[in-house]
Chains A and B, each alone.
Chain A
Amino acid sequence: MSYRLRMVVFGAGVLGFASLLIWGLGGLPDFGDFAGRYGQYLAHSALPERHATSSIAVTTFDFRGVDTLIEEFILFTAAVGVVALLRVHRETEEVPAEPEATRWPTAQSGALRSLITALVAPVLVLGIDIVLHGHLTPGGGFQGGVILMSALFLVYLAGTHIGLGPLRPMAAMETAEGIGAAGFALIGLGGLIIAGAYLENFLPFGAPNHLVSGGAIPLLNIAVGLEVMGALLIVIGEFLDQRLLMQKGKL
């Protein structure tokens, strides 16, 4: 289809689509006048029901916990999918021999490298803090998990493999994301066995505004944090991997 024909089709479609959106959006309540009872009910039952101060966290992990379970598995799927799609194929590919050092690009100057190393610890602490306080303040497993990922990512940038030891980092991350994702599902199974319904809370609520409150929510946050950290690190690591996939004969 020629460019012009495509634009004619698109232009006609977009006119219809735009009028459709205006027609539909015009039926919404005015901005700021929303009066949904469902949301207000949940907002006001988080504290009495779960002794947790963030009703968003309680909605995410308790009232509508199954959405979040599946959401974590979507991220998990993406990480597995990226690994599968970027895998080096046995037969048709050849991997140009490259020194291990250039596979993972690191910061060039020594000063920058030590600066980055110094940043690792604070970022790590920040990530852990955000994961652990998810049920009290804004943040939680997802946000904290991304920050934890950044911390480990700084380790790569600094060019050292501290903390990862002899483990292959990618394999360790796959284990982390697998355990995190399956952990969420298994905590839910605990609810099914102990409390009677899948993802139902089966732990004491604790006192409001304390670190140990909100029942199973902090545990779920930790599982999510682990999963997100592993999954995103795998994705970024796969893109970072400078091994080039070359086709035989196309060079």
Chain B
Amino acid sequence: MTAVQIATLAAVAFGGTAVVLARDPARQALMTSVYGLTLAILFLAFQAPDVALSQIVVGAVALPAMIIYALRKIIRREEVDREDR
């Protein structure tokens, strides 16, 4: 087992924990993106470049985008709710 693998594994374990413990969804979306990149590096270290590429496009781009836009949609509605009251 190489040092790079050990280091990225530790980073992934830490990153996953941080994502779970961050209770604010907006910050979480950002951390998910970073966590996704960390996972991609781990996959490169595991000699799986295809999976790493998928993980970058999904974990670091598509998922955070979905989360942020869903949140926006929710927050917009809360704003409109407030205005109407």
Contact = CB atoms under 8 A, between A and B. Distances in A.
Touch test A–B (CB under 8 Å) = yes
Interface of A: 31-32, 54, 56-57, 96, 130, 138-140, 142-143, 146-147, 149-150, 232, 235-236, 239-240, 242, 244-246, 251
Nearest to A145: B57
A85 to B, nearest CB: 12
Given A96-B80, A236-B65, A239-B69, 7 more contacts: A57-B50, A130-B53, A138-B49, A143-B53, A146-B54, A146-B62, A235-B66
B58 interface: yes
Interface residues of B, number: 21
B27 interface: no
A248 to B, nearest CB: 12
B23 interface: no
A236 B68 CA distance: 10
10 contacts: A138-B52, A139-B53, A146-B57, A236-B62, A236-B66, A239-B70, A239-B72, A242-B73, A244-B77, A251-B81
Nearest to B73: A239
A56 B73 CA distance: 39
B80 to A, nearest CB: 6
Interface in B38-85: 49-50, 52-54, 57-58, 61-62, 65-66, 69-70, 72-73, 76-77, 80-81, 84
A18 to B, nearest CB: 15
Contact of B57 (A147, A235, A236, A240): A147
Interface of B: 1, 49-50, 52-54, 57-58, 61-62, 65-66, 69-70, 72-73, 76-77, 80-81, 84
Nearest to A232: B62
Contacts of A150: 57, 61
A31 B1 contact: yes
Contact of B84 (A139, A149, A242, A251): A251
A63 B2 CA distance: 31
B70 A143 contact: no
Given A32-B1, A138-B49, A251-B81, A146 B76 contact: no
Nearest to B9: A31
B1 to A, nearest CB: 6
User: Can you list the 7 inter-chain pairs with the closest CB atoms, starting with the nearest?
Assistant: A138-B49, A239-B69, A146-B57, A143-B53, A138-B50, A56-B50, A251-B84
A66 to B, nearest CB: 19
Contact of A140 (B50, B52, B58): B50
B80 A244 contact: yes
B76 to A, nearest CB: 6
A181 to B, nearest CB: 18
Given A138-B50, A138-B53, A143-B54, A244 B76 contact: yes
A242 B76 contact: yes
Given A56-B50, A143-B53, A236-B69, A246 B62 contact: no
A141 to B, nearest CB: 11
A168 to B, nearest CB: 20
A140 B51 CA distance: 11
A143 to B, nearest CB: 5
